[in-house]
Structure 1
Amino acid sequence: MSTIQLNAPDGAIDAFLEMPTGPGPWPGVVVLHDGMGLTEDARNTVRRLAANGYLAIAPNLFARGRVRCVPAVLREVLTNREGRTSRDILAARSYLADDTQCTGRIAVVGFCLGGGFALLVAPKGFDAAAPFYPSGSGKYAEMLRGSCPVVASYGALDPLNPGRGPKLERVLTEYGVDHDVKVYPGVTHAFANETPAEPLLRVTGLGYDSDATADAWRRIFAFFDTHLN
């Protein structure tokens, strides 16, 4: 994995890039981290995608300073209005599209905050979007007209997304967007992330769930096989 400087409209930011082994070109995936930032967990997602044959990049959405970035990032995802973070994400997409080792077919994967942005940019040139428990306003009808295909994963016990899995499915069906939306029983927010809070969450019986995570990735890779290859 290498750290690169990504030239975005609002100034350069850092990003992690990982290439698969073997001959390219490969489809690309932009990975959007959660509110914890570009952690080892986010880097592991980049590695997972590369190991499965995708050229993967994770832009640091807090590169300009967490204190400065977080309020603006949250405003953007909660109001469904394109701003600096969306431009950073689209710059990451452009970086992959310009790489001769990329086929030009590009998806976006995001977790929590990043999942909200994965839906927000789904109509903006991506070929597939895979949000995990996306945070945001939940106003899917506003943001998803003209969306790319979506494979989404929610936890039934997630207090941040009550009823939003079925709501997303209804909107995508109405818009005629190919989709796979699944709500996993018995798991909550961040079930697919291994965070520093994991020991505490495990005491409550919640937190990372290996079975739900494995199934979500199985669905994502099958969906990507259809829409990226």
Structure 2
Amino acid sequence: MGHLVELETTGGTIDVYRADPDGEPKGGVVVISEVWGLVAHIKDVADRFAAAGYLAVAPDILSNAGVSPEVGQELQSLILGADDWARATAQPRMREALSVAHAPEYAEWAIDVLTQIVDYLAAQGGVGERISAVGFCFGGSYAYAVAANDTRVRAVIPFYGSAPPYATLGDIQGRVLPFYGEKDERITGTLPELRAAMAEAGVDFTPVVYPGVGHAFFNDTNPVTFDADTADDAWRRTLDFLA
């Protein structure tokens, strides 16, 4: 099991969930959460990376936007729950939080902080240059963004995340293995254009589109979208890719 550490950054002090492997790490992984923030599911993903031999760190970059882990867990439970009234009540709270997280100044802050998370990982014994970024939805977009901003990120694994503006794609030096659900048309609809842009930029980009599933298929705390077989396959491919 991992533990929380406080990390001083130029953007303020943030909590980071750190999960250490037994013995020398195979590398370091930055785990970037969905819009729910640093909830139990993301900590569990970090623990799974540690069990596979990687030093995993999951930064809480959403408390700065008003979505603390407690608020994120509550909103997720309300929005995914069966109670229509509770879901309707939670929607405006979620929109308010998202309005902050989608502001340009927030993105600038978040990318700067994530780059300092890479600094932190690179300074840990045994990690060396084996640094990866894995993100989910909101976090998938930031996995692309931090890789475009920091060439030390050698592997990028976005789960159903939108890519940053195409002008930045050529800055990505790492290999990219993105996962999508076929039914997630809002994101998969942009894939042909993204694939062409990646090819033009010379980025090693190998998307995997899973048939019959939609958004958030990896989140086993989401009873609506989780698909165990697809999640298992994506996890196997993730570890093979990192290896």
Same fold, judged at TM 0.5 (above) = yes
Q: 5 Å matches for 1:71-220? A: 71-76=99-104, 83-123=108-148, 124-125=150-151, 126-135=153-162, 138=163, 140-147=165-172, 148-195=174-221, 197-198=222-223, 201=224, 207-220=225-238
Secondary structure in structure 2 of the residue aligned to 1:26: coil
Larger radius of gyration: 2
Structure 2: how far apart are the matches of 1:63 and 1:73? 10
Shift of 1:70: 4.2
User: Residues 29 and 108 of structure 1 are in contact (CA less than 8 Å); yes or no, is this contact kept in structure 2?
Assistant: yes
Shift of 1:88: 1.6
Structure 2 stretches of 5 or more lacking a match? 68-95
Structure 2: how far apart are the matches of 1:86 and 1:69? 18
User: Residues 32 and 59 of structure 2 are in contact (CA less than 8 Å); yes or no, is this contact kept in structure 1?
Assistant: yes
Structure 1 stretches of 5 or more lacking a match? 202-206
Residues 139 and 92 of structure 1: CA distance in aligned 2, closer, same or farther (over 3 Å): closer
Structure 2: how far apart are the matches of 1:64 and 1:121? 18
Q: How many residues align?
A: 211
Secondary structure in structure 2 of the residue aligned to 1:48: helix
Secondary structure in structure 2 of the residue aligned to 1:127: strand
Secondary structure in structure 2 of the residue aligned to 1:7: strand
Shift of 1:69: 6.7
Structure 2: how far apart are the matches of 1:83 and 1:29? 21
Counterpart amino acid of residue 223 in structure 1: F
Shift of 1:25: 4.0
Shift of 1:164: 2.7
Structure 2: how far apart are the matches of 1:2 and 1:28? 16
Shift of 1:65: 5.2
- What per-residue deviation string (whole Å, max 9, x for no partner) do you get for residues 108-159 of structure 1? 0000000011111222221111000004xx5552221121210000111114
Secondary structure in structure 1 of the residue aligned to 2:179: strand
User: Residues 181 and 209 of structure 2 are in contact (CA less than 8 Å); yes or no, is this contact kept in structure 1?
Assistant: yes
Structure 2: how far apart are the matches of 1:46 and 1:210? 18
Shift of 1:14: 0.3
User: Residues 119 and 143 of structure 1 are in contact (CA less than 8 Å); yes or no, is this contact kept in structure 2?
Assistant: no
- Normalising to structure 1: TM-score of the pair? 0.84
Secondary structure in structure 1 of the residue aligned to 2:206: strand
- Normalising to structure 2: TM-score of the pair? 0.80
Shift of 1:89: 1.1
1:204 maps to what in 2?
none
User: Residues 49 and 55 of structure 1 are in contact (CA less than 8 Å); yes or no, is this contact kept in structure 2?
Assistant: yes
Residues 140 and 65 of structure 1: CA distance in aligned 2, closer, same or farther (over 3 Å): closer
Percent of residue pairs bearing the same amino acid type: 34
2:79 maps to what in 1?
none
- What CA RMSD, in Å, does the superposition of the two structures yield over aligned residues? 2.1
Shift of 1:161: 0.9
- What per-residue deviation string (whole Å, max 9, x for no partner) do you get for residues 36-82 of structure 1? 11111101110111111110000001233516974342124xx9x95
Counterpart amino acid of residue 238 in structure 2: I
